[in-house]
Amino acid sequence: MPIPSPTSTPQIIPRPDTQPTGKTPVKRTVALGTPIEVVYLPDQVREVYVFESEQARRVGIIFEPLDGGAPLRLKAQIFTESGEQLSPVSAPIGQPMQREEWDLPEAGEYTVRIFGPETEARALKLTVVIRLSPTMGGDTIGYGETHSGSIEARGQRDQWTFQGRFEDHVLITVLAPGADMYLELYGPSGELIGQDDDSGSSRNPVIEKILPADGTYIIVARMYDDDQTGTYQISLKQLR
């Protein structure tokens, strides 16, 4: 009687979210603008997410929880084909599901890695979205002046610059009927020294500040929600 051939043991391929710790992360392909469902496991990088861009452009990453739990505390990193990590360029306020945006330097393949302080597994939806690079408006502004501005594109930041002196007491106000504006004030060294959303009349932003040094100051005027547009008036006063 012939001896039967030994039965081969079937190969078991683990699901991506059950890869053993220490193994090379599984690569999942992501199409721009198309969400994928992800399970994040704390302190483990079991998956990375790869997408193609046919040109240099700005992209954002949106995390949307699917498990009904607390808000996600996750961040993302983007790497080029050569392994270089790209620095994020913004963290838009008013879009709680979006974390940051990145400028892709050229066409090619990019890899997304997510991480964060979550202590339990989280189910979420991840989307890599195309963003327009924000245009910049604004001009110089002096004490006692009022200027008109217009936010016409998503994510636009208008920069208004002025010369200030140590201990100048300044008041910056914005009037934007029907729009929700946000103000930021940056000092001569580039540090953020003031910001406001709606503490002024009709919930308009106001910044009152005693300047810490001589130099050039930058006022950034933008919408609280990056998807909003509208017109506004900005005023700068020296109180003493």
Rounded to an integer, what distance in angstroms lies between the CA atom of residue 175 and that of residue 231? 9
| pLDDT value of position 184 | 92
Question: Where are the domains positioned within the chain?
Answer: 24-131, 136-238
| pLDDT value of position 135 | 65
Which class is 136-238 in CATH?
A: mainly beta
DSSP code string of 47-102: EEEEEEESS-EEEEEEEEESSS-SPP--EEEEE-TT-PBPPP-B--TT-TTEEEEE
**What's the full length of the chain, in residues?**
240
Handedness of CA 50, 53, 59, 64 (dihedral sign): negative
| pLDDT value of position 90 | 63
Same fold, 24-131 and 136-238: yes
pLDDT along the chain (240 residues), means of 10: 38 36 83 92 90 89 86 91 90 52 93 91 90 76 96 86 96 93 88 90 93 93 88 94
Rounded to an integer, what distance in angstroms lies between the CA atom of residue 159 and that of residue 89? 16
| pLDDT value of position 191 | 82
Rounded to an integer, what distance in angstroms lies between the CA atom of residue 238 and that of residue 142? 9
| 24-131 classified as CATH 2.60.40.420 | no
| pLDDT value of position 97 | 52
